[in-house]
Structure 1
Amino acid sequence: MIQTQVLQQGNTLNKRTRDKNQLVHNFGATFEGEIVLEPKNDNHKVMIQSDLWRKWDVFYRFCRLHSVTGTVTGVISVSLLPLTSFGDLSPAFFLGMLKAVIPFAFVNIYVVTLNQLIDVGIDKINKPYLVLASGEYTMLQGKAITSAFGIMCLAMAIVFQSPPILYGIIIHFLVGTAYSVELPYLRWKTKPFLAAIGIGLHAFNFQLAVFCHIQKYVLGGPLVHTMSFRFVLIFFILFATVLGIFKDIPDVAGDQAYDNRTFCVRHGKKKVFSLCISILLINYGFAMATGALLSSSLLNKFVTVIGHGTLASLLWHRAKSLILEDDNLVESFYMFLWKLFTAEYALIQFMR
């Protein structure tokens, strides 16, 4: 009888110990006798958040969203040029601007992802860190994303019923396709003259489509190409052409391996780099002269001259210290050029 009671007491103590251990396991404890509420599934939540962040990072890098940021900034900036007063900032204006932002952002993603699909072999040599080259996305995933954005940009351009946006998106789509795809008379990126024309056409088409869309189909006014708009066309065509040529500088090894006769392959990195910097400095000189002579107010003159002079100085300072043999530094400099490109969208608002 006594032995039975001892066994029962032992079982009770063991059960309490197991219950306590389970409680500590579920909620955590800092020291004996103190229990802290600590949800059991915290690690699971962290793993989910980490996985979602990784997927977003891969998508961000595949779509090259830094260039999309430039496109969105450009649409907003060019949309403001036709405005004549604060009264034009109506809900209809912001809706009209959104109708330009979304399809142009989508067609931009289509173009850059298509280029990665076609150039995956070259990228394995030049840029093995890219999403397709590194295997983070399969070709099937890449094709699905590219096709989806291509279809969406064209569908939106049709649904929004704005002829400038429709024509602008179609031209952007066709030129971007011709630039990359391997078909007779296409693959413009391997033909330096056609590549330069295609990149310049991109800039011209984009600016013109957005400006005409806002001025005529959103604000309802006549088409009048203002001084600021003419400046925008010239400046951004030249700058975009430089970006298109410059991006091939760190890709010479892969382009030579695949017999892509780019400007850099034909003439060497140093000559192409010097040409790009010279064009940009001339472009900034043109901007300073235009602002000084044609801007309507002293404030506008001051901002355009000082602003463009500052950007030109930053460009010259970084260009002098660039080591062309280091592809990582060249890639960083290329991203710096994109920042200068985007900064210009703020300065053009003073070209009035």
Structure 2
Amino acid sequence: MKKFLRLATGVHAPDIYLLTLLGSKLLSIPSHNRVIALLGERKSCFKCLPFQASLQNTILMYNTPPFNNNDCVTVVTLQDGHASKSEDEDGSPKNVFLKNLNALYRFIYPYACFGVLIATTSNSLLPVEKLADLTPTFFIGLLKPLVPLVLMHIYGVAVNQVADVEIDKVNKPYMPLASGEFSMETGIAITWISALMSLASAIMLQSPPLVLGVIAWLFISTAYSAQLPFLRWKGNSFLAAVCMVFMCGLLPQVPFFFHVQKYLLGRPMEITKPLMFASAFMTCLSVAIAFVKDLHDVEGDREHGIQTLSVMLGKEKVFWLSVYMLSTAYGAAVLVGASSSFLLSKLVTIIGHATLLLFLWHRARNVDLSNNESIFSFYMFIWQLYYAEYLLIHFVR
């Protein structure tokens, strides 16, 4: 197991100083006649102090995102020549299970998984026209498609991490594959299992919109990440944005909307105003997510020859392009609300989107583009805007 530490310069034995990465937490860390003690907070030093007990080398630093670009990942070897391990690696089934469960949780990008669950659930409610539609059978039918949804999401993040493991060692060294918590074989197994199970579960539901949606998701996820001829679309800014439009803007919405409309409520498939608005708005929001996502990966992308828009134009231009794009979307949403003939719809749509626009500009003015922590915080804020929109779309009438 690798640990994420950085040797500080100008320090001599016998005291060894280790510079922490941003976000590190100190566990009980005994080592052979030494123990590491915390001396400070952010970017602080750890000092090896004498420790009289006879203990094995058990050093491990667990880190959480985001990291600054000048942080590096180094496997540190103690003076006695042994690499460190975690103190709680006692091999018990419980500890191994909890450790793997925690790694799997981080592996699937929970905030993105939560986002597609909200998107799908919200859009599945758009075809509902009256309270009589909300029967127990409807809610059971609403839950079933969430199984292939989660599985296809896991496939998307898994194939991306398998393909980008070397890049993630620079950009995201805390991820399970990059850190060594998961082996490459484990990552590949998760990728194949999630792909096959998502397709199988969609076929079992006997819903053509769902099956087509899953197939489209699997193809676009593969095209985005896989290092195969004519694929690896993430290396092209335009194609990368197209992929995000489908994976965040269209596929979590359209197939599930038609599935509920036709195969749960028994109505003919038709495109409604709320669906058109949701698809258009989320398309714009998804492109902004794609652009901001790459801001804190510039160093690793440039090193591996991935020509994202942030690499080509620079962080500042891409950041403000994303902000202006989102502002345009919110402005359009206010106009859509103003055109509604329903007073409640008009008020909620106008006030809700205007408020989110103000929050957006407040956060944007306080972003430090030289600090990856600040960039990542803004990126997560955009995901919060993504979540909030799925409440507001129900008032678009």
- TM norm. shorter chain > 0.5: yes
Counterpart of 1:339 in 2: which secondary structure?
helix
Residue from 63, 68, 88 that aligns with 2:133: 88
C-alpha separation in 2, matches of 1:93 and 1:190: 42
Letter in 2 for 1:292: A
Q: Give the superposition deviation at 1:277.
A: 0.5
SS in 2 for 1:83: coil
1:88-138 alpha-carbon deviations (Å, 9 max, x no partner): 011232222223211111101110111011111111111111111111111
TM-score scaled to structure 2, two decimals? 0.74
* Separation (CA, whole Å) in 1 of partners of 2:380 and 2:133: 35
Moved more, 172-181 or 83-92: 83-92
Matched, 1:320 2:328: no
1:171 counterpart = 2:225: no
1:338 CA drift (Å): 0.7
Residue 323 (structure 2) aligns with: 277
Q: Distance in 1 between matches of 2:107 and 2:314?
A: 28
Q: Percent identity?
A: 42
Q: Partner residue of 2:286?
A: 240
Structure 1 residues 171-197: Cα deviation after superposition (integer angstroms, max 9, x where no partner) = 011001100000111000001111112
Summarize deviations over 1:259-289 as a string: whole Å, max 9, x none.
0011111111111001001000111111111
- One of 261, 279, 288 as aligned partner of 1:215: 261
* Map of 2:54 onto structure 1: none
SS of the residue corresponding to residue 312 of structure 1 reads helix
Give the alignment partner of residue 231 of structure 1, picking from 264, 277, 297: 277
Q: Which has the larger radius of gyration?
A: 1
Alignment partners' CA distance in 1, 2:331 and 2:308: 28
Q: Is the 8 A contact 1:255 1:265 kept in 2?
A: yes
Indicate the RMSD between aligned Cα atoms, in angstroms. 1.6
Amino acid at match of 2:396: M
2:143 match: 98
Query: Any residues of structure 2 matched to 1:149-168 within 5 Å, and which?
Result: 149-168=194-213
Pair 1:76 & 2:121 matched? yes
Letter in 1 for 2:224: Y
More off after superposition, 91-100 vs 238-247: 91-100
More helix by proportion, 1 or 2? 1
Instruction: Specify which structure has the bigger relative contact order, considering alpha-carbon pairs within 8 angstroms and separated by 6 or more residues.
Output: 1
Aligned to 2:176: 131
CA distance in 2, matches of 1:142, 1:240: 26
Cα distance in 2, alignment partners of residues 307 and 231 from structure 1: 15
Q: What do the CA deviations read for 1:279-337 (whole angstroms, capped 9, x no partner)?
A: 0011111111111212x421221111111111111111011010011112111211111
Per-residue CA deviation, residues 191-210 of structure 1 (Å, 9 max, x unaligned), is: 11111122213322331101
Give yes or no for the alignment of 1:64 onto 2:109. yes
User: How far apart, CA to CA, are the structure 2 residues paired with 1:245 and 1:106?
Assistant: 25
Question: Which residue identity is paired with 1:251?
Answer: D
Pick from 343, 349, 359 the counterpart of residue 304 of structure 1: 349
Give the 3 Å change call, closer, same or farther, for CA 216–54 of structure 1 in structure 2: same
* 2-structure distance, mates of 1:181, 1:117: 9
Secondary structure of 1:272 counterpart: helix
8 Å contact from structure 1 (residues 75, 97) kept in 2: no
Equivalent residue number for residue 313 of structure 2? 267
Partner of 1:24: none
Gaps of 5+ in 2: 1-87
Q: TM-score with structure 1 length normalisation? A: 0.84
How far apart, CA to CA, are the structure 1 residues paired with 2:145 and 2:282?
Answer: 18
- Residue 224 of structure 1 and its aligned partner are, at CA, apart by 2.2
1:141 Cα deviation after fit: 1.4
- Which of 293, 300, 308 aligns to 2:339? It is 293
Matches of 2:268 and 2:229, distance apart in 1 = 41
- In structure 1, list runs of 5 or more residues that go unmatched: 1-42
Q: Deviations over 1:230-268 (max 9, x none)?
A: 101100111111111211110010011100011111111
